[in-house]
Amino acid sequence: MSKLHRLAGTLSAGNDPVLLTPDDAGWTYTGLRVLRLAAGASRTVHTGDFEAFVLPLSGSCTVRVDGLTFELTGRETVFTRVTDFAYVPRDAVVELSTVDGLEVALPMARCTRRLAPKYGPAEQVPVEVRGAGPATRQVNSFGVPGIWDHADKLNACELITPDGNWSSYPPHKHDEATDCEVINEEIYYFRIADRDGITPSSTGFGLHRTYTADGSLDENVAVRDGDVFLVPHGYHGPCMAAPGYPMYYLNVLAGPASERSMSFCDDPAHAWVRSHWADEPLDPRCPVTSHEGRLA
């Protein structure tokens, strides 16, 4: 098995589906936790030297941190709604509690500055439709620079790719400090819907590619619900949702630059594809969701 492709269950910690630190990944900044709380349960998280977003994947929760309380209205699954979220700082004690049960992602980044906690309402999350034709996808830009500037190192966004479509395309990279790109370590956390298009399930699958121009890295993997893929360097993309099985992924990025950025460079061999999108219709299935619920 690839060291970059972490299969569902291989990063679990007790009942929690994912515990991935930068040390586990073999890099410096970027990490991810996915916690699972039963109905009526509460959980205390110590952030240490990491800032994080609290992002409900299913269910709603209350977040208490630094004497503040945020009520996060969540969702049934990642395929049903854009969710509320919260930013929590490093060196914090965070209490999470839920009435009906919760699965929550904590995308995180090692950082130096301690900022105040902050609430992010779902209705203020920009929902973008990118690409065209079979490369049409939805992007929920909840934690990206220029939209959410309240973070030191952490960048994050969500993507929904309708079944049969391609995303993270053209392939792109961000592993050098140039006029085109910045250095970012990146995590892909995948959820794959079953045939109903809503319920995450291990039945479906998708494909993901990461590679370098010199061929020293060349990963082509089948991804299933709950898998994680690490991108330390190189071009990544496409992600392909198999027909019948919509794909979601959470992207988490952080790096050494003094200013947060998600700048990237396309693979020159495939960059021409973007110029053709202007003449292609958008897939009418996008956007799939909004803060009000499912649209497609």
In a domain, 283, yes or no: no
Q: Is residue 291 part of a domain?
A: no
Tokens of 258: 């003094």
Residues 6 or more apart whose CB falls under 8 angstroms from that of 79 comprise 160, 191, 193, 197, 198, 199, 200, 246, 248, 288, 289, 294
In a domain, 156, yes or no: yes
Q: What is the dihedral of CA 233, 278, 293, 15, to 10 degrees?
A: -10
Residue 293 resides in a domain = no
Q: What is the 3-state secondary structure (H, E, C) of 18-78?
A: EEECHHHHCCCCEEEEEEEECCCCEEEEECCCEEEEEEEEEEEEEEEECCEEEEEEEECCC
Q: How far is CA 174 from CA 50, 78, 266, in A?
A: 22, 26, 9
pTM for the complete prediction?
A: 0.98
- Tell me what pLDDT residue 58 has: 98
Tell me which residue range forms the domain holding 37.
5-278
User: Which pLDDT score is estimated for 10?
Assistant: 98
Rounded CA gap, 290 and 190, in Å?
Answer: 19
Q: Tell me whether residue 27 is in a domain.
A: yes
Calpha distance 264→67 (Å, rounded): 38
Which CATH number do you get for residue 199?
2.60.120.10
Please check whether residue 25 lies inside any domain of the structure: yes
User: CA nearest 286: which of 166, 155, 189, 143?
Assistant: 166
Residue 10: count of CB within 10 angstroms of its CB? 13
Tally the domains of the chain: 1
Q: What distances in angstroms separate CA 1 from CA 26, 136, 185, 231, 235, one per listed residue?
A: 16, 30, 21, 15, 20
254: which 2 tokens? 């952080």
Which residues of the chain are modeled with pLDDT < 70? 1
Q: Is residue 296 part of a domain?
A: no
Q: What is the DSSP letter of 274?
A: H
279: Cβ contacts below 8 Å, ≥ 6 apart: none
**pLDDT at residue 52, as a whole number:** 99
Flag whether 288 is in a domain: no
